[in-house]
Every structure is written in structure tokens, then in C-alpha cells.
Amino acid sequence: MSLPGGTEAMVTQRGFWRDLRSMLLFSGKRLLALFLTVLVGVYLTIYIANMGGQVDELRMVQIRSDVAEAVRADPAFMDMPAAERNALIEERVQLDVERLRLDQPFILRSFDYLRQAITLNLGRAEQMHSDAGSRQVYDIIVERLPATLLLFGTANLLVFITSVMIALALSRRYGSMVDRSVIALAPSSAAPAWFYGIFLILIFAFLVPVLPAGGMVQVPPPEGSLAYAGSVLRHMLLPVVAMYLSSIFISIYSWRTFFLIHSSEDYVEMARVKGLPDNLIQRRYILRPTLSPIITNFALMLIGLWSGAIILEQVFNWPGLGTLLFEAIGHRDTPVIIGSVVIFAYLLAITVFLLDILYAVLDPRVRMESIK
Amino acid sequence: MKTLLWLGSAAAVVVLAVLLQPGPGGPEQQAVPVDDAALSERRGALVDEIVFTQETDPGKVTGMIETGSHHVFAQGVTSVTVFNRIRDSQYAAHDISYGFSVELTLNPAGPHLDDGSLNPFHSPRVREALNWLVDRRYIAEELYGGLAVPRYLALNTAFPDYARLADVARALELRYQHDPDRARGVIAEEMERFGAERRGSRWFHDGRPVRVNVLIRTEDVRQRVGDYIASEMEDLGFLVERRYRTAAEASRLWLAGDPGTGQWHIYTGGWIATTINRDLAENFSFYYTSRGRPEPLWQAYDPDPEFDEIAERLQRRDYQSWDERQQMMARALELAMEDSARVWLVDQLSVAPRARDVELAVDLAGGIAGSRLWPYTLRFRDKVGGRVVFALPSVLTEPWNPVAGTNWVNDLLIMRSLNDPPLLPDPFTGLFWPQRIDRAELTVQEDVPVERTHDWLRVDTEPEIAVPEEAWIGWDSTEGRFLIVGEEHPEGLTARTRTRVYYKDNYMDRRWHDGSRVSLADMVLPWILDFERADEDSRLYDPSHAPNFQVFRRHFRGWNIISEDPLVVDIYSDQIFPDAETIVAQRTPSMLPWHTLALGIRAEWAGELAFSSHRADRNRVDWMSLVAGPSLGTLDRHLEYAVEHGFLPFPGMVADYLGEEDEIGERYQALKRWREERGHFWVGDGAFYLHSVHPVERTVVLRRSEYFQDSSDKWLRFTRPAIAELELDGPVVVERGDGVEFSLRITSEGEPYPPDSLDSVRYLLFDGTGAMVRSGEVEPVDGEEWRIRMDAEELEQLGTGANSLEVAVTSSRVALPSFASHVFATVPRRQTTTTEGDQ
């Protein structure tokens, strides 16, 4: 029995609105939850980065000490009576105290930091500058972004693509020589990339000096853009290889195990029994059902680029965001620390939200669960 | 198969990248050999290009030098491991500087702290005894692996005051040499006086063990020094707590905290000096009295009244003659050791690594970063031309502008090669030499003790120095004109010094790097700017400049351009330094290109940029950078305006000092071309010009300036410090009743040390108890040979036993004194009985 055309349309329309309402409600709840997570996360960062306000005391001591030594080292003040010199020091200390708003209670400043961070008004750094000399936190971060994306993007993409490809192939050759070799090599990833970096520098920069020991480009930088690109490529090689070596085997091992589980599902066995070609089985019966975790992994890898890698960048003298964050912590430059964290927090929240939606698009089961 | 193809492609990229080594471009990299005749013909810098790049890891130093990718590391290396690698490398060499000193800061509060516990270091005798307790030689040689020299006194061992007082210093060093038994005895006496008692191996006071908290810095070798001291204190019977802290954590306790709370008793302190300080007279006030700093620790100092008075007088330079000063210094040194609020341990050596075939002048205190002469002396040995690559721990740390830009040492190091100051300090003595001035005359009031060393200046005295009415002393920002002494001080004005500077005849014929000719406006505008920035009514007012300017105003008594061709300037001031050369250097005006300053002034007037960091933050604008960043766009707009309208700041005053007819137009056109070619606004007059700036790559490229026409070998004599090497020899056993002669050889790098460069060659004779029984001048013989002769009567004062002969040599070429010692025994005369049979 079928419903009249108009009624059927109405039912379909009602279903659409119901689904839409459910989706909006779901999205709203998720967004609110994510926003609160970001809010709490950023405030905790502000609080911890300032040790609940105790950093103010450290900064006061540091300012006083720096000013006192600067005045003492300046021959122009050498013959000043002690009382006058101390008054001068005090005057200069006060200028810095006002500049850094250290005369205000930390708790007030912390909410001000939070307000600016949440509205993505990154503001001015307190101590640091961009390499080009700007004090805007936005400029400081954006200046380092290309170098980070280039290095970590290349390495992570290489690791991701090759590991998925090799893992897929290995999942079909379970127990083979190559498979056993990968399992044996997986613990090599316990060593971080910088550890491999040191050895690579020692071998390829000093023992057999064919590659540079560090930096992003040769000194002085080549004037032509092709030569410049070539130089950057040469300088990227060692850090990329270091990152690749430190991640590839564990990554292949994880994906291979993951694919192995899915390869032994009944529907895959059925496809094999039906005599479908291997490529088709891989694409349609293994990769497609596992697309959600692959995409999740890929998306998290992409936003993971934001944080850079402090020690690796130090070892290879690479001007990335990791070094920037390290310097910001060293300078106790709260706006830069918050700037880096809040952008990461927002990126993570957006990615999680988009993944939720993507899951629903990719997997009808998730969609139904969400709606329920 | 696909995987294989993919891997093959990746391998091809790798191979391609290895093979693809882009050519660097720029001038010919290879330096060419040159003989002395050709060298004396050459003008300007000795190398063609310098590249500065950032490298933060000292561990890579030797490898980079060996592969030839870098030539000079400006960062001082203090790691013994790295130093050993440098020393073992056949491609690397190094220079040494002495700018960091390590000491034990002692807590003087007490005798009882807030919790009622006893603080043994309240007692000056306990503090003094620590000098005997610590083995400075062990610290220097074992803990610092030879990268330190023992230090006992409040004077840096590489600075001129130490050399001037070398004999006094040596005597004190022997008096306080390592003697743990004596230390133990004195400390035990004092502890008992405080009512403490020894139970077993521990000291107790009021029934509680006497506790000593050692605050140990963890970032460097001071951690090991702290452990060593802590162990020594434990051995003495104290209950020791080791508190390991970083600089920031420790400063909350020792610097900001109240010493009375007893959070710490001993702190492993360190002090840095970036240039040779020729006058350490205020060290006593700073380190030992409450006048040093306002922090609680200094307020707890309670020195002996005699010491306090001498320290205060030395700080005020309250002495009538140099001899009186030296006597006061000698006494202060002695009293400082008795006070020992600080126990000095070592002067740490810092190593500046470089390629073996590269030479440059390195400052004895500040290393390469502290050297002003490095740009004039940098070269490949016996060659000219080529490219030198410097590694710095940071490059372009803060924005560059010549008014109130970055003051980071690494930025200043680069800037020093771009500008050419009128005087340059000697890297080995700190005394100034003329670079752009011909001579100077310094007139001081009769009661002002000033020493002159060099003959490029003349010093005379007058009972009263009147400042002429027409001298400029102030600035009226409303009317835009200088205020003269006549209107500011109608009753007349006097000054303690007048410095008359005669610039070189060709001083006004020079050109800036952009090709424009210098003019007097380049000297006048920076003065105006200085006054404007301190004037609350000015649009350029900068609160951060005001405190320093007020200090300057307190001693500034006016200046006057006496003649424009040749340029002669008089400067009047009440500020005194012990060295006449330093007074001239401090007073001599230098130049900055007025046309780049003008753009900055316009940008600051418009509220778009600020010269100083403080004003930039206050106005929420960018801190002005003439070399990179968002400032450049702003300055471009102001340059366009200036080109179009012929902008001249403060025209009522500056216009009178322009040189060529269309100087304004020519200057801006030159700057516009410069900006288009070089991409920045930094125009200087130094031996090198700023060729290109690469902020993200952290690289700065300088090239040799064709406009710089000084002889290339002008400063080469300052490439190596002429440190005197001594060989003291003589008999090891002397019979009483005999005379004795000791020989001394004084050389430098194998050559006899020129006698006219030796300030003093003195000997000190100590008997077996360590008491000095005699001192005097060593007698020159011939060339490098010197001798010390003592007759039987003089030797008789020693008695019988082991004696020590010490020689201290000071030179006018280097602040570092040299010492040699010889130990010999005086024994009773053998009674020889002659018999026929024996014969």
C-alpha cells in the first residue's frame, strides 16, 4: 500500500526537518562542549604558564637584576652616587613594570589574556619579536608557519602514505620475511627523531660531508628561486629522514595490524571466495570500511604539524614553531604561549567537529547513532 | 611494483638534492695571498664578504669549522669537551676571554636567623677562613678542566687594575692560599665563641645541629663547584642541605628574599663583564656595602667602618692623586679579604673558536662580541678577500634602529662593522685609540686626578674652566633651536673638564654607504633628537629615555663647534674617568645619517612607529626596524613624502649645517636607490655595508665598502694579545752569607718583549712563613734578559728555610699581568775544615 503523493512528500519533508533538527541539536551540543573544552584548556594554559601568578615574582626579580646590571655596565653612570643610581634603577624598573602590567593582580590579567585568546585577538608579545621585527603575536607565529608546514608536512605525509601503502601490502603477506622484519624493526621507533638526527648529522654532515648540518637554507641564501628551492630541499633531507626513520616502522606495524584485523572479516573472506581481484578487495572491502579511522589519523596528523618539534628543530637549527614555543616559554612571554596554544586548541576543536560530521557522511551507522 | 617505483622516485629526489648544490653567488669566495707591500697598498676591509648566521649548538662547532662551512663562532664556549675537540683539531684555533667570574656569595645576616638558628657566616672571620678552605687551583683545573684561572680578589685578573696592583695582589694571594688546617682552626674558634659545641663530627648550637644551606646553580660548572663547597662544609661538621636551583629560581631566594630567613647561607654566584673595565674602584662599594644595590642582601652588609669609608671614597673617586688612589685600592683589597662577604673563586675562560687560518682582534673581556676592532682586523691569514661565515647564537634578535634599537650583543657585534666611530678601544687594555680624530686636548680642573697613557692627546689643568656663553647646553623644542649657556646660565657656568677634539682633515669628505656625502647635519641632528626625546612637550617624548637623559644633563655643561673646516669641537662636562682617553672617548660626538633619522622622526611623529621598545609598546605600534619587517613599508611611504617635499627635520637648526647645495634631494635620492638595491634603510660609514638581510633564514650578509678608504693593515697589530711569557731561573739552594742572582726572560711568542712596552717588572720575596720580606724592580740586562741580584745581607732577612721569589710583569700592551715564581731554600753555610790530608 502506498501513500498519496502529497502525503508521501509531507512525510519525507517532515523526516528531513526532523533529521535537520537532530543534526543541529547534535552540532550545537558538540560545539558548546568543544568551546567549553577550549575555554578550560586555554585558561589552564594561562594559569600554568604563569604558575598561578608566581611568574610575576620571577619576572620582577629578573627585571630588577637586568636593569641593575645594565646601569652598572654603562660607563655613563659609573661615577653616580649610589643613592642616585639606585633611584635611576628603580625608575627604569617601574617603566618595565608598567609596560608588562605587573602592577595589576595576575588574576585580572589572566581573564584579560583569556578574553583576548578566545576572541583570537592574539595581541602583542611582551618580550619576543618576529624574525623580521614585528611584535604582533600573529606575525610571530605566521612567520614560522611555512617552515614548520614544509618540514613536518613533508615528513608526516611521507610516513603516513608509505606506511598505509606498505601496511596494506603486508596485511596480505602475513608472516612473510618482510612482515617479520617490520615487526622486528618496530621498537626502533622508541628513539625520537632528534636522536636519529644527531647520528645523521654526524655521518652525512661531518664524516661524509655531503649534506648540511642544519639550517633551512645555505648561507648566504641563493638569490634565484630555483636555487633557493634546491637549497631548502638539501637542508630538509636530514631532518625528514630522521623523522621518517623514527616513525615509519611503528606506523607500518600499527596499520598492518589494523588492516590484518579487517582483512579477516567474514565479508572479506567471502569476497576472496567469490574470486574478486585483490585490488578490488583492498579498495572496497578493506579500505572503505576503515576509512573513518584513516581519515581521523590523517586529520590529527595534519593539526599535529602545528606544534612542531622542539628538540628536532633545535638539533637541525630549523626555524619552526617548536623552537618558537620553546623560546616563548624561556622568555615567559605569555601572549605568544597563549597564541600558539589557542590556535592549536581551535584547530583541534574544529577538526574533531568536522570529523564528527565526516563520520556521519562516511558511515550510516554513525549517522543513525548520532540521530538517536 | 608500484611501491618499488615510488621508493625509487624518492631515492632519486634524495640523490638529486645531494648533488644539487646551488652556487652561493656574490663575490669570489677564495681569498688570495698577499705580501706586506701589497697589503699596505690595500684600502678598506681585508675580506670581501661576511655572512652571519644562527647556530645555537656549540657541539657542532668543530665539525663545522673542519668542513669549512663556518669560520668563526662568536659565542664563547665554556664546555671542556668542546674545548678539547677544538684544541685537538688541526683546522680549528681559538681565542680566550676572561669576562665571567665565579664567587661564593655568603649570607651575612645574624648571628641568629629568624628561626633562631646560628648563621656562622655572620662572622667576618668565618667568611675570611673560607678563603683558606677552598682550593681554587683544584676548582680551576679539575672542575673547570683548565678553563678558569684562580681568583682571590675583588678585581678581575685580566683587567688593568689587577695589573697595576700586581705586587699587592700577589702578596694577598699568597697570604690566602689554600690552607685547610688554618681554615678549620679559625672556624672552630669562631664557632666556640658563638657558643656552639662540637659533638663527634658535628657542630651543635642550642641543641640543634648547625645547618648550612648551599644554594647551587645548576646551569653550568657551578653545580660541581657547589657540590665541592657543600662537601667541604660537611667535612667541617655542618649539617648541609644542597638546594639546586636555576637562575630564576635561585634569584627569588638570594636576590629578592630576606637573608634573615636563612633560606640560604652560601650561593654560587657569577658576574659577567662584556668589556674591559679600566676602573674597578667602585667594586668594593658594589660587592661589599649596602650602597651596591637596593636588594635585601646588600642591605644586610655591615662592613668595617674603615673599609666602608675607603669603599665609598673610591666609588666617589675622592682622591687627590693617582698614588693616593692606588694606596686606597691596596688597603681596600686587604680589607675586602678580611670582610669576605664574597669569596672569589675563579675567572672563567671563554673560548671563541675559529678556523685556524682566520684572524681577528678579540676583546680580552668580552670575546668577539666585545671587540670593536674585529671588523678592521678580520682576514684569512696572509691573504685578502674571500668570504668569512660567522655563527652567532642569535641573529636579528630585536629590531635595528640607531636611536633606541636592539642592544643585544650579537646584534651590536654586526652593527659595529657597519659604523665607524671616532675612537676605538684597545681590545687588550680597554684604552681608546683615535680612528677618525687627529688629536684631542683635555683640560681638567686642578683637583681632578686623571691619567694619560697615549700621546695622541694632551692633558693640562686649569684652576677653573669657564664654559663660553655661546656653547649649546639645551634645546627648545617649541622654537626648534639650541639654548646657549649665556641665556640658560647668565651668571656664568664652569665645568670640571673641557675636551677639545680635532677631527681628521678628511672627516667631512667621507661618504655614507648609499653614496651621499657626510655633513655636519649628521652630527647636529642626533643631538637634537637626544634632547627632543627627553622633552615632555615634544612629539618625540619617550619616558624610557628621560631617566638616562637626566643623568646626562647632570654632568653635561655644553658643547660648541669651534671650527667647521677642519672640524674642531669643544665639549664641557663634569663627568670624570681616571683615564684621559676614556673621557675623550665618552665626550666625542659621532655621526648618524640625518636622512634615515628623518624618516624615523616622521614615522614617530605620525604615531606609526617608535624608536624605543617602551614607546612602541605604550603606543601599540611597531618598534622601528630599518632592516626588516613591517617598519619598512611605513618608512617607504615617508621616503616618498621626503623625496617629494624635501623634508628636513628641525630645519631652523639643521639647515645651517647641510653641506652640498642640493643635499636634501641628493640624500633622499641616494637612500631611495639604496632601498631598491638592498631592501633596507640601514646606511652606515663602516668598513662593511649591509648587503642583504634574511630574517626567517636568520642570515645577514655584509660586503666590503668601497667608500671606506683606510689602510687595510691599520689595526692589524691588535690581532694577537702580546702576553708576556716569563722564565724565571736561579739556584734552588743558597747558602746563608752568599749573594744570589736570578735570571728572568721576558718574551712574547718567542720574541723578546719590547722593554718600552713594559710598565713594570717587579719581584716579591717571601720567606718560609709566607711573609713578604722584600720587593723591588727587576733589573734589565739585555733584550729579553733581566736579572734580580741580592747580596748576602738582603738574603739574611729570610733566615733558614724554603722561600719563594715571585715576579709580576705588567705591560702597556695588554691588561693581563704575567707571573712567575721560583722556590729556593736558604741553608746554613757549610763548615768546611781544610786539612793537609784532605788536600
User: At B25, is the pLDDT very low, low, confident or very high (cuts 50, 70, 90)?
Assistant: very low
How is chain A split into domains, by residue range? 25-112, 137-371
Three-state DSSP class for B499?
strand
In the structure grid, which three cell numbers stand for residue B237, read together? 661538621
Q: Concatenate the DSSP letters of all residues of B374-443 into one string.
A: HHHH-EETTEE--EEEEEES-SS-S---TTT----HHHHHHHTTT---SEEE-TTT--EEESSEEEEEEE
Chain B interface test: which of A65, A85, A89, A131 (most B C-beta within 10 Å): A131
User: At B474, is the pLDDT very low, low, confident or very high (cuts 50, 70, 90)?
Assistant: very high
Q: Do B23 and A222 touch (CB under 8 A)?
A: yes
Q: What is the mean pLDDT of residues A83-90?
A: 84
pLDDT at B23: 44
What is the nearest CA distance from B776 to chain A, expressed in angstroms?
Answer: 34
Q: Cβ distance B180 to B132 under 8 Å?
A: yes
Q: Which of B376, B384, B370, B413 is nearest to B719 (CA)?
A: B376
pLDDT at B154: 94
- CA–CA separation, B147 vs B145, rounded Å? 6
User: At A366, is the pLDDT very low, low, confident or very high (cuts 50, 70, 90)?
Assistant: low
Q: Which of A210, A162, A163, A208 is nearest to B15 (CA)?
A: A210
Q: Is B81 on the interface with A (CB under 8 A)?
A: no
How is chain B split into domains, by residue range? 98-348, 429-681, 725-827
- Tens digits of residue pLDDT in B320-351: 888 899 999 999 999 999 999 999 999 999 89
Closest-CA residue of B relative to A166 is B3
Q: Provide the CB-side half-sphere exposure for A316 (13 A, CA).
A: 37
Q: b or e along B622-648 (b: 16 or more beta carbons within 10 Å of the residue's beta carbon)?
A: bbbbbbbbbbbebbeebbeebbeeebb
User: At B109, is the pLDDT very low, low, confident or very high (cuts 50, 70, 90)?
Assistant: very high
- Tens digits of residue pLDDT in B755-772: 888 988 989 888 887 778
Mean model confidence pLDDT for chain A: 84
Chain B interface test: which of A88, A96, A135 (most B C-beta within 10 Å): A135
Q: What is the mean pLDDT of residues B168-182?
A: 91
Q: What is the mean pLDDT of residues B214-236?
A: 94
Q: Is B60 on the interface with A (CB under 8 A)?
A: yes
Q: What is the mean pLDDT of residues B582-600?
A: 95
- Tens digits of residue pLDDT in B561-579: 999 989 999 999 998 888 9
pLDDT at B835: 43
Q: Compare A124 and B233 and report the one with higher pLDDT.
A: B233
- Please identify among residues 285-304 of chain A the ones whose CB lies closer than 8 Å to any CB of chain B: none
Question: Among residues of chain B, what percentage have pLDDT more than 70?
Answer: 95
pLDDT at A125: 87
Q: Is A143 on the interface with B (CB under 8 A)?
A: yes
> A137-371 belongs to which homologous superfamily?
MetI-like (1.10.3720.10)
What is the nearest CA distance from A46 to chain B, expressed in angstroms?
Answer: 19
Q: Which residues of B touch A321 (CB under 8 A)?
A: none
Helices A193-201, A225-263: crossing angle, 10 deg rounding: 140
Which of A124, A129, A315 lies at the smallest CB-CB distance from B399? A129
For chain A, where are the alpha helices, taking DSSP H only?
A: 5-49, 54-73, 82-99, 106-118, 137-172, 177-185, 193-201, 225-263, 266-273, 278-280, 291-304, 310-316, 321-331, 334-362, 364-371
Q: Do B293 and A124 touch (CB under 8 A)?
A: no
CATH number of B725-827: 2.60.40.1930
- Tell me how many helices (H) and strands (E) chain B has: 27, 41
Q: Cβ distance B346 to B136 under 8 Å?
A: yes
pLDDT at B14: 55
Q: Cβ distance B613 to B623 under 8 Å?
A: yes
The answer on pLDDT for B557 being more than 50 is yes
pLDDT at B48: 95
Closest-CA residue of A relative to B701 is A220
The answer on pLDDT for B27 being more than 70 is no
Q: Which residues of A touch B69 (CB under 8 A)?
A: 212-213, 219
Q: Which of B347, B352, B383 is nearest to B367 (CA)?
A: B352
Q: Do A77 and B551 touch (CB under 8 A)?
A: yes
This prediction has a pTM of 0.84
Q: Do A213 and B544 touch (CB under 8 A)?
A: no
- Tens digits of residue pLDDT in B820-829: 889 999 888 7
Chain A interface test: which of B1, B9, B15, B21 (most A C-beta within 10 Å): B21
Q: Which residues of B touch A234 (CB under 8 A)?
A: 17-18, 20-21
pLDDT at B836: 42
The answer on pLDDT for B183 being more than 50 is yes
Q: b or e along B217-254 (b: 16 or more beta carbons within 10 Å of the residue's beta carbon)?
A: beebbbbebbbbbbebbbebbbebebbebebeebbbbb
What is the nearest CA distance from A357 to chain B, expressed in angstroms?
Answer: 33
Q: What is the mean pLDDT of residues B759-786?
A: 86
Q: What is the mean pLDDT of residues A337-345?
A: 85
User: At B7, is the pLDDT very low, low, confident or very high (cuts 50, 70, 90)?
Assistant: low
Cα separation of the two ends of chain A: 28
Torsion A238-A244-A246-A249 (CA) sign: negative
Q: Do B13 and A233 touch (CB under 8 A)?
A: yes
In the structure grid, which three cell numbers stand for residue B327, read together? 694606596
Torsion B288-B290-B291-B295 (CA) sign: positive
Q: Do A60 and B273 touch (CB under 8 A)?
A: no
Q: Do A214 and B552 touch (CB under 8 A)?
A: no
- CA–CA separation, A332 vs B212, rounded Å? 32
What is the nearest CA distance from B673 to chain A, expressed in angstroms?
Answer: 19
Q: Do A317 and B55 touch (CB under 8 A)?
A: yes
Residues 6+ apart with CB under 8 A from A19: A371
The answer on pLDDT for B660 being more than 90 is no
Q: Compare A222 and A83 and report the one with higher pLDDT.
A: A222
- Tens digits of residue pLDDT in B55-96: 888 888 889 999 889 999 988 888 888 999 998 999 999 998
- Tens digits of residue pLDDT in A27-66: 888 889 889 998 998 899 888 888 888 888 888 888 888 8
Q: Do A219 and B53 touch (CB under 8 A)?
A: yes
Q: Which of B92, B794, B759, B130 is nearest to B451 (CA)?
A: B759
- Tens digits of residue pLDDT in A291-328: 888 888 888 877 777 666 788 888 898 988 888 888 88
Q: Provide the CB-side half-sphere exposure for B346 (13 A, CA).
A: 23
Which of B255, B274, B555 lies at the smallest CB-CB distance from A73? B274
Q: How many CB pairs under 8 A join A and B?
A: 204
Q: What is the mean pLDDT of residues B404-417?
A: 91
User: At B29, is the pLDDT very low, low, confident or very high (cuts 50, 70, 90)?
Assistant: low
> Which of A268-272, B220-224, B681-685, B729-733 is least confident?
A268-272
The answer on pLDDT for B297 being more than 70 is yes
The answer on pLDDT for B26 being more than 50 is no
The answer on pLDDT for B240 being more than 70 is yes
Which of A82, A206, A210 lies at the smallest CB-CB distance from B291? A82
Three-state DSSP class for A73?
helix
Q: Which residues of A touch B53 (CB under 8 A)?
A: 215, 219
Q: Cβ distance A259 to A290 under 8 Å?
A: yes
CATH T-level fold of B98-348: Dipeptide-binding Protein; domain 3 (3.10.105)
Mean model confidence pLDDT for chain B: 90
- Please identify among residues 533-572 of chain B the ones whose CB lies closer than 8 Å to any CB of chain A: 543-544, 547-548, 551-552, 555
